[in-house]
Chain A
Amino acid sequence: MSFEALRALIQGWAGAGLLPAGLTHGFLVNALLSGLVIGPVLGGLGTLVVTKRLAFFSEAVGHAALTGVAIGILVGEPYTGPYASLFGYCLLFALLVNYTRNRSNLTADTLIGVFLSVSLALGASLLLILASRVNIHILENVLFGSVLTVDDRDLTVLLVVALGVTALMLPLFNRLLLASFNPALARVRGVPVKGLDYLFIVLVTVVTVASVKIIGAILVGALLVIPAAAARVVASSLRGFFLLSVAFASVAAVAGILLPVQLALPVPSGGAIILAAGLLFLGALLARLFMKGEEG
């Protein structure tokens, strides 16, 4: 089924009153589909990001997207989707951070802080240079995400990335986790620790970049971290951790896309998604406190 047919089907259901009325708008259906595609992937990958203590890294990769967009516009890519520069720059940024991390005596957070600052400085400088070339307000969409600008091309990119990342993440899930517990034990078990380290960095980067359009460069890293953090607070097993994280990320994505439109709130989609995730995190914390109180 093509996006066009799927969109028409959903719009039809919305017109018949089976779905929220806002979904009669094609742009909102696009945004919803992108949220449904990327939410579960971000939630699942997020469990590994949190376990491997790469939350700051995922934030940094998201912020690097800002510079990627600036470079894309500079080299003449369409400002609505400069994917070549986005993927190219963010992958370069992530691989460089990881390469340097393995070869410097700096702690990961210090190193990421250095790279992030330099990258942001480069991005800000380029954007100021470009200010005369594009409507600078378009950049708000890049920073905070927008439901208005998701087109079929974006959906295709999201779908390809989501399927690719899922196809790699699921069979390698145990190995990716084991490598962070004890590299020596992992190697004895046949896990190529260094190779998987780089692969994981690439997976986080491509998912982050693909999600920039809907969540925004500033906030995209948060959807990798907050749902997984919320799930970690309340889960008692790995199964609960993973499934809750996927559920939280999906609910946050859908709620963040639909609620501002339904309630006519002037909030960007990225902001709304992360606020929804934040509320879920708060709920998880309260549930944890309540459970502790019941136990104690």
Chain B
Amino acid sequence: MTGPAILFDAVDLTLGRTVILDGVSLRVAAGTVHALVGPNGGGKSSLIRALLGQAPHRGTIRLDWPGDGPGTIAYVPQSVEFDRGLPLTVEDFLAVLCQRRPAFLGPDRRMNYGAALDRVGMAGKARRRFGALSGGERQRVLLAQALIPAPDLIVLDEPMTALDEAGIAIFETLLAELSAAGTTVLWVEHDLAQVRRLATRVTGLNRRVLFDGAPLEMLSPERVFDLFSAVPRRTGAERIAS
């Protein structure tokens, strides 16, 4: 199965009196690596939360799955909140996420956590305490969990933030593998150089869509300057209210 296409149509999201997303419409083609870029507070993570059904929004978000039914969605958050001193190994962490059998009874061998850890360069660290890992290592484990089971759609929320150079190389390989397998990748990223190199398409988002197209074409210095410096224009209603 290849990944789904995603359609965002006139998506609005308001928290309290703050407009987070304003009429966002875009299409993520099936099997592509689609990057979302924009300033902090521009609504990238909110759009992802809306896609994952975790933010109340207006408008339409539709996943067009090929074949009979929905496939597997994976999500890589920026971080996980947990007690760093918790006696939880890397393998325990994956077991908590991926298996039904209580994690304290040990890993379900059928899940093959070793293979996923190997893919992110963490082979041999399954018994390490999760809380004792560096930020980059934890990020790699978060990538590994997204591979179990093999995803058809993977949503990445700034996955490279804590990665070192080796981690970035692993991430690039992983992205290429996922893309080759037909997985749809929706990727929030702030590193525009990486987006330019790795994404099939990029959308500039600052409360509304400012541009959408091929990265080499869209990420010109002028557009990037506009994206990160422009205060999003207010709606007519907001202008009247103020």
Instruction: Give residues in A with beta carbon < 8 Å to B.
Output: 47, 51, 53, 170-171, 173-174, 177-178, 180-185, 187-189, 231-232, 235-243
A184:B49 contact, CB within 8 angstroms: yes
A240 vs B106: C-alpha distance when bound (angstroms): 10
Contacts of B82 in A (CB 8 A): 51, 180-181
Q: How far is the CA of A51 from the CA of B102 in the complex (A)?
A: 15
- B92, A189: Cβ atoms closer than 8 Å: no
Interface centre among A231, A235, A238 (most CB of B within 10 A): A238
Is A174's CB under 8 angstroms from B75's CB? no
Tally chain B residues at the interface, Cβ within 8 Å: 33
- Judge whether A236 and B103 touch: CB under 8 Å: no
Q: Does B121 contact A (CB under 8 A)?
A: no
Q: CA–CA, A42 to B97, complex, Å?
A: 24
B95 touches A174 (CB 8 A): yes
| Bound complex: CA A269 to CA B205 (Å) | 63
Q: CB < 8 Å: which of B54, B83, B86, B92 contacts A184?
A: B54
B1 on interface, CB distance cutoff 8 Å: no
A13 to B163, CA, bound (A): 63
Q: Which residues of B contact A (CB under 8 A)?
A: 49, 52-54, 73-75, 77, 79-83, 85-89, 92, 95-97, 99-106, 127, 129, 155
| Other-chain contact of B103, A53, A174, A180 (Cβ < 8 Å) | A174
Does more than half of chain B's interface fall in helix, strand or loop, or is it mixed? loop
Is there contact, CB below 8 Å, between A177 and B96?
A: yes
Contact sample, A vs B, 7 pairs, CB 8 Å cutoff: A174-B96, A182-B81, A185-B75, A188-B52, A236-B89, A238-B95, A241-B86
Hey, which chain B residues are within 8 Å of A182, CB to CB?
A: 77, 79-81
A-B contact count (CB 8 A): 85
Q: Report B-chain residues with C-beta under 8 Å of the C-beta of A185.
A: 75, 77, 80, 97
Which residues of B sit under 8 angstroms from A231, Cβ to Cβ? Answer: 87
| Docked CA distance A286–B96 (Å) | 30
Q: A236 with B87: in contact, given A184-B77, A188-B52, A188-B74 (CB under 8 Å)?
A: yes
The 7 closest A-B pairs by CB, nearest first: A242-B104, A235-B87, A238-B92, A188-B75, A173-B102, A182-B80, A241-B87
CB of B86 within 8 A of CB of A174, answer no
Chain A contacts for B127, CB-based, 8 A: 237
Closest A residue by C-beta to B127: A237
Contact across chains for A239 and B104 when beta carbons are under 8 A apart: yes
Q: Which chain B residues lie closer than 8 Å to A177 at the CB level?
A: 96, 103
A82 and B186 CA atoms in complex are apart in Å by 56
Distance in angstroms from A36 CB to nearest chain B CB is: 21
CB proximity of A108 to chain B, nearest CB, Å: 14
CA distance A53 to B85 in the complex (A): 13
Q: Contact check: which of B73, B85, B106 meets A239 at CB < 8 Å?
A: B106
Contact of A236 among B73, B75, B102, B129 (CB under 8 A): B129
Measured CA separation A12–B206 after assembly (Å): 78
Given A188-B75, A237-B88, the answer on whether A174 and B100 have CB atoms closer than 8 Å is yes
Expressed in whole angstroms, the Cα–Cα distance for A125 and B102 within the complex equals 44
Contacts of A183 in B (CB 8 A): 54
Residue of B nearest to A241 (CB): B87
B87 to chain A, nearest CB (A): 4
User: What residues of chain A lie closer than 8 Å to B104, measured between beta carbons?
Assistant: 47, 173, 238-239, 241-243
Known contacts A170-B102, A174-B96, A178-B96; A238 and B73 CB within 8 A of each other: no
Q: How far is the CB of A165 from chain B (nearest CB, A)?
A: 14
Complex: A232 Cα to B75 Cα, angstroms: 29
* Contact (Cβ within 8 A) A173 B103: yes
A237 to B104, CA, bound (A): 8
Closest chain-B Cβ to A33's Cβ sits at a distance in Å of 26
**Nearest CB in chain A to that of B157: its residue:** A184
